[in-house]
C-alpha cells in the first residue's frame, strides 16, 4: 500500500485533499524544526544580544518569501503575513536561547 498522498491536481475526493494537507503539514513542521535549529545556532554565534534583532535582515527575509510567493502564483499578502509572524517568532525564540545559554 502506498502512503504517499496524491498531488493536488490528482485529488478526486476530500479524503485525498485532507491526506495531502496532513502530510504536508507534517513536512512543514519538520522544516520549521530545522529553521529553529538555525535560530539556536544564531543565538550561539552572535557576539551580543543586541545582534539578535536585525531589521534589515528581517525585511530581506520577508521580501524574499514574497518574491517566491509571486513566482508560485500564491497570495503574496498571506505569505507576507505568515513570514512576519515566523520571523518575529524566530527572533523571540533566538532571544530566549540567547538568554538561556548566556544570560
Backbone angles phi, psi at 44, to 5 degrees: -70, -35
Q: Which domain holds residue 58?
A: 11-102
Task: Determine, yes or no, domain membership for 79.
Answer: yes
pLDDT digits (tens, 9 = 90+) for 68-87: 999 999 999 999 999 999 99
Task: Determine, yes or no, domain membership for 33.
Answer: yes
CATH at 97: 1.20.59.10
pLDDT digits (tens, 9 = 90+) for 19-58: 999 999 999 999 999 999 999 999 999 999 999 999 999 9
Q: What is the pTM of this model?
A: 0.91
Burial profile 62-71: b = 16 or more Cβ within 10 angstroms, e = fewer: beebbeebee
The number of domains in the chain is 1
Task: Determine, yes or no, domain membership for 97.
Answer: yes
Amino acid at each position: 500500500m502506498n502512503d504517499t498522498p496524491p498531488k493536488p491536481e490528482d485529488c478526486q475526493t476530500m479524503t485525498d485533499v485532507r491526506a495531502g494537507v496532513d502530510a504536508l503539514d507534517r513536512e512543514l513542521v519538520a522544516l520549521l524544526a530545522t529553521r529553529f535549529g538555525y535560530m539556536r545556532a544564531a543565538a550561539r554565534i552572535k557576539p551580543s544580544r543586541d545582534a539578535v534583532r536585525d531589521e534589515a535582515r528581517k525585511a530581506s527575509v520577508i521580501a524574499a518569501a514574497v518574491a517566491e510567493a509571486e513566482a508560485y502564483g500564491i497570495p503574496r499578502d498571506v505569505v507576507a503575513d505568515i513570514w512576519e509572524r515566523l520571523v518575529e517568532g524566530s527572533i523571540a525564540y533566538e532571544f530566549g536561547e540567547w538568554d538561556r545559554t548566556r544570560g
